[in-house]
Structure 1
């Protein structure tokens, strides 16, 4: 049977010197924390290697993906301009709409084929992109053009600000305020006279 002395570390060093080495069922706190720190270091190392693996796979996926990205080109005075790769779609399979302050591009393509063995295949491709039109751009004047290389360009000019009419701004003259230096001198000379 175990007594209380076996389960807890010694509180008094004099008791420890009389009994000698006593073994307890509980490991020392330093041992537990050292093992915990080692496990945390291994977990951090695993997470960093996992993060590197994910980032390298993401970079490879971006390199292998077909170029369907949009390149917004907005500069001072240019307005709104988007270029989207849509070479997989025919012009009649594309639709561009303005919904509020958003431009929505939708592409849908269906392909059916039968091979020499009589097998039937059906393929459906869809593309949907949305862009916010800035407030300073005229969404009503939006235009689209498709190049032979399959690049869809969506453009809208900046809003033309109305010329401000010329007007004179009156200058208001406020009454002269007493200066601080003159008021303090008058106050000091008034005290001297009294």
Structure 2
């Protein structure tokens, strides 16, 4: 076997482990991930699974990274080409709602679940979850500030407050979809976010 093929196969195996881990953790939490369960489901040895990560914590961090890639592909990429500011913010919000409505992760928003699981548990996993929420809040804040500068949102708009409100609406949608199975939830979220962002500017 050539070194190049060996590396490619190792990367493929790692990707398969991560994808299965994301599916498990979405429903059962990051603590629900066990090396034994992954080994059994992937028809691998425990040492074979562990050899790709080194520890359960390293696996959890890698799973967070993979979940972040999926979130970015679902929510950020559709908005990347949109005009910065309010237009992009609206596209982001619609993609965000769609991501939750379609239940891209079987257990709902991966990071909301991870935050509930680790918010009171100091350590690298909690820090990784927090940093991803910080990055997303910063992204929302940047687009809000651009919209204010362009005159598309009122001058007295507080970016931090509006980002907080949008995050709250998304978490309420996730809760309504996952816990209550409310078929009206996405419609309510769209109406609420559109109302908060105002009408389409005419200038």
Name the structure where helix makes up a greater proportion of residues. Answer: 2
Interval of TM-score (by shorter of Structure 1 and Structure 2): under 0.3
Please tell me whether Structure 1 or Structure 2 has the larger radius of gyration of its CA atoms: 1
Tell me the TM-score normalized by structure 2: 0.21
Name the structure where strand makes up a greater proportion of residues. Answer: 1
Tell me the TM-score normalized by structure 1: 0.22
Which structure has more RCO (C-alpha within 8 Å, separation ≥ 6)? 2
